[in-house]
């Protein structure tokens, strides 16, 4: 019996692994239920866990540099539409995405997967020259955020941190920056301050239209197995992938069962209607794992990573994952 630590946020799609309902013959999994803000720095700087949730963007960087401590499997435990994550100072004179060109734009980390996705969308869908934006980094509402991996940017590309103690929220209100890309709402926006608005006022409509054009459901995080552990037992990649897949399928079954009850376990009164709308948009399995169904999306993210000077070269989807995963 082999014991493996598994660091991952306690998502519904991993609950079956964490509570033991998904069998893992020959393996004893020790859950470490922590969110990515805690797991990513520990994974990327010292490969602390046997199995861990990984930032897709940072993983691409390490793979392209030959420095990856983990080998990934295509279990995409975090996916998120991000059109609602671009915030503007209302008086900045930004009416369209194209108006972001040449502006000062804040982001918690330049390398974060949210930024990789949004810059790709801005470039491909709106013709924005994203490498010409003056990027500023800091925590959204709390100071102290730093890039988890060093950047390797070409001369003339401007990415630098704001001053000590600065936050993106304060910098936006002060006029130091004109916009923010962030997965967390700036405090001013969350409080209803009219000085801060979204680039896309109806982000759900924007994301829905974009998905119908591209077929993409943005992959944010995947699962990695520590390289030396996988070298000792190459069968672990397929076995763990199948286990994560089974846990996701169990979560879907749990949700369907909950919707059949007369009383919902989740405090969302229109959960059934939201679930029906989600399936109408994304299909019967709205959270696809595996390379085959996500190949075009993975190719786009690889292309953007190189174009944005994060990965040293344009990777192929097959480069990202453990050997034998390309047929999943």
- Residues 76, 222 within the same domain: yes
**DSSP summary character for residue 202:** S
Which residue is associated with the tokens 């490969």? Answer: 47
- Residues 70, 99 within the same domain: no
68-127: per-residue pLDDT in tens? 999 999 999 999 999 999 999 999 999 999 999 999 999 999 999 999 999 999 999 999
What SS3 state is found at 259? helix
Q: What's residue 263's pLDDT? A: 87
User: Does 326 reside within a domain?
Assistant: no
- Residues 64, 101 within the same domain: no
- In terms of residues, how long is the chain? 328
Number of domains, the chain: 2
* Residue 41's CATH number: 3.40.190.10
Domain that holds residue 89: 83-214
User: Does 297 reside within a domain?
Assistant: yes
144-198: per-residue pLDDT in tens? 999 999 999 999 999 999 989 999 999 999 999 999 999 999 999 999 999 999 9
User: Does 241 reside within a domain?
Assistant: yes
- Residues 251, 309 within the same domain: yes
- Residues 129, 192 within the same domain: yes
- Residues 99, 120 within the same domain: yes
User: Does 205 reside within a domain?
Assistant: yes
196-251: per-residue pLDDT in tens? 999 999 999 999 999 999 999 999 999 999 999 999 999 999 999 999 999 999 99
- Residues 118, 64 within the same domain: no
Rounded distance between C-alpha atoms, residue 158 and residue 271, angstroms: 44
Q: If pLDDT is split at 50, 70 and 90, which confidence band does 266 have?
A: confident
Residue 232: count other Cβ atoms within 10 Å of its Cβ: 9
Quick one: tokens of 179? Answer: 């916009």
Q: What's residue 37's pLDDT? A: 87
CA-based nearest residue to 67, from 221, 227, 223: 227
Domain boundary residue, one of 171, 192, 214: 214
Q: What's residue 264's pLDDT? A: 85
User: Does 327 reside within a domain?
Assistant: no
Which residue is associated with the tokens 């004893």? Answer: 28
37-77: per-residue pLDDT in tens? 899 989 998 899 999 999 999 999 999 999 999 999 999 99
- Residues 183, 287 within the same domain: no
Q: Are the beta carbons of 240 and 247 closer than 8 angstroms?
A: no
User: Does 328 reside within a domain?
Assistant: no
User: Does 150 reside within a domain?
Assistant: yes
Domain boundary residue, one of 158, 181, 214: 214
For residue 225, list its beta bridge partners: 51, 71
Rounded distance between C-alpha atoms, residue 16 and residue 282, angstroms: 23
- Residues 89, 173 within the same domain: yes
Domain boundary residue, one of 197, 214, 231: 214
User: Does 149 reside within a domain?
Assistant: yes
Q: What is the 3-state secondary structure (H, E, C) of 101-122?
A: CCCEEEECCCCCHHHHHHHHHH
């Amino acid at each position: 019996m082999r014991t493996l630590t598994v660091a991952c946020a306690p998502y519904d799609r991993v609950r079956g692994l964490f509570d033991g309902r998904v069998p893992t013959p020959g393996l004893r999994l020790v859950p470490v239920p922590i969110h990515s803000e805690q797991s990513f720095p520990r994974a990327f700087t010292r490969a602390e866990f046997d199995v861990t949730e990984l930032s897709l963007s940072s993983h691409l960087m390490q793979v392209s540099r030959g420095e990856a401590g983990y080998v990934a499997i295509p279990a995409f435990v975090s996916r998120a539409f991000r059109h609602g994550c671009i915030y503007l100072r209302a008086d900045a004179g930004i009416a369209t995405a194209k108006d972001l060109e040449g502006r000062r734009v804040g982001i918690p980390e330049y390398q974060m997967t949210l930024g990789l996705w949004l810059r790709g969308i801005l470039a491909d869908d709106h013709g924005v020259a994203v490498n010409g934006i003056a990027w500023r980094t800091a925590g959204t509402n709390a100071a102290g955020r730093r890039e988890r991996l060093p950047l390797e940017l070409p001369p003339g590309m401007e990415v630098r941190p704001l001053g000590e103690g600065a936050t993106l929220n304060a910098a936006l209100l002060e006029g130091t920056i004109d916009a923010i890309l962030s997965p967390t709402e700036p405090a001013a926006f969350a409080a209803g301050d009219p000085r801060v608005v979204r680039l896309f006022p109806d982000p759900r409509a924007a994301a829905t239209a974009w998905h119908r054009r591209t077929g993409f459901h943005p992959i944010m995080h995947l699962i990695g197995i520590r390289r030396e552990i996988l070298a000792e037992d190459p069968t672990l990649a397929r076995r763990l992938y199948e286990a994560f897949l089974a846990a996701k399928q169990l979560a879907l079954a749990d949700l369907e069962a909950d919707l059949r009850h007369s009383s919902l376990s989740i405090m969302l009164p229109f959960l059934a209607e939201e679930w029906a709308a989600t399936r109408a948009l994304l299909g019967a399995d709205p959270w696809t794992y595996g390379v085959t169904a996500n190949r075009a999306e993975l190719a786009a993210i690889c292309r953007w990573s190189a174009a944005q000077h994060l990965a040293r070269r344009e990777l192929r989807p097959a480069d990202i994952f453990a050997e034998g995963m390309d047929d999943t």
